[in-house]
Amino acid sequence: MIISDYNWYNLLESFDFGVEDKMEESILEDYVALLASKGFRLSDGDLHFIDFGKHYTEATESQVKIALEVTLIKQLSFDGSYFIALLESFVKENVRSKKRAYDLLDRLQSIRENSHSYTAG
């Protein structure tokens, strides 16, 4: 499903879902339910892929929730390959909060930009 309305981006960006305050078992389920209550429903295929990604990467519920949220904000829809790449990075770097996730994304973007710059001589 594609989030076509700019308001979805603002809506998702403005939420503070309190990952640190929730019990680990219900974080992802609560987040998916919140999205659905706001009119954004993930397909059964998306939900199965999210579950697959969780098990494939051995990610925590918090890491999966953060990766899903970042995926929806950055891609404006569910993108499985982007989601898996985030999960792998979050597990590798032990990301447990949105702040650390965005810090990591900024660092990776900076590295990427520096590796593509060159001087012509």
Does 82 fall in a domain?
yes
Q: Is residue 121 part of a domain?
A: no
pLDDT in tens, the chain (121 residues): 444 444 444 545 545 544 444 456 688 999 999 999 998 899 999 999 999 999 999 999 999 999 999 999 999 899 999 999 999 999 999 999 999 999 998 988 888 888 766 555 5
Interacting residues of 32 by C-beta distance below 8 A, sequence separation 6+:
42, 47
Domain that holds residue 92: 6-116
- Given a contact cutoff of 8 angstroms between Cβ atoms, the answer to whether 19 and 30 are in contact is no
Structural domains of the chain, count:
1
26 falls within a domain: yes
Nearest to 20 by CA among 60, 62, 59, 54: 62
Q: What is the pLDDT of residue 119?
A: 54
- Domain-located, residue 76: yes
Cα–Cα distance for residue pair 45/57, rounded to 1 Å = 18
The DSSP line for 24-79 is GGGHHHHHHHHHHHTT----HHHHHHHHHHHHHHT--HHHHHHHHHHHHHHHSB--
Classify residue 1: in a domain, yes or no.
Answer: no
